[in-house]
Homo-oligomer: A and B are copies of this chain.
Amino acid sequence: MPPPPTPISSSPHSLANRLARVAWGIVQATLFRFSPRPLHAWRRFLLRLFGARIHRTAHVYPTARIWAPWNLTLHEHACAGDLTDLYCVAPITIGPRSTVSHYSFLCAASHDFEHPDHPLTTAPITLGANVWLAADVFVAPGVTIADGVVVGARSSVFSSLTEPWTLYAGSPARPVRRRVMPAAAPT
C-alpha cells in the first residue's frame, strides 16, 4: 500500500505574497467588485496598483476574480468578462483583442499528486491575439492558445491549442474547423 501523502495545508507562498493577497482581497471585495460596470479605468487603476500590466484599452469587469494582479497582463482591447476566474498563481497573459467570457476559468496551478507532499505546481497560461474563449471554458496550467483561436462554450482545454484561426470545442477541446475571416476591405 502506498504511504499516505501529507495533506495540502501549510501555505507554499511567501509571507510577502500572502500579505499582498490579503490587501488585494480586501480591495477586490469592495472597491473593485462594487464599482459601476462602465468604470473600466478605475478597475485598471486598482489592478495596476497591485502590479498588473494592463493596456489602457483593456476591460476587466467587476465580478472577474483575480488571484494576484502582479501575475496578470492584458494587451490592447483584451477583455476579461464578468464571472471569469483568472487564477494567476503563475503569469496569465491575454493577448490583443482577445476576450474571456462569463464563467471561464483560467487555472494556472495544480498539485503534484504523486509526490508524498503533493506540492503546488504552477505554469503560465498565454492567450495570443484575437482569441475568444466563450462561456464556461476551462484552461489548465501551462496552456498556450494560438492567435485567432475560438474555444466553444463549456469546453475544457488541457493542452496547448496550436492551430491558429481555428474553432476548437469539447472536453478535451479538439479542432472543429477553420475560423474563416472575411478579406480585409480596401479602405
Contacts and interface: CB of A to CB of B under 8 A. Distances in A.
A110 B7 CA distance: 32
Interface of A is mostly: loop
A46 interface: no
B99 A150 contact: no
A118 interface: yes
A184 B2 CA distance: 7
User: How many monomers of this chain does the complex have?
Assistant: 3
Contacts of A150: 113
Interface string A98-120: 01001101010011011110100
Could you say which interface size class chain A belongs to?
A: 35 or more
A180 B138 contact: no
Contact of A7 (B22, B97, B118): B97
Given A116-B182, A156-B154, A171-B154, A79 B132 contact: no
Interface string A129-158: 110101110101000000010100110101
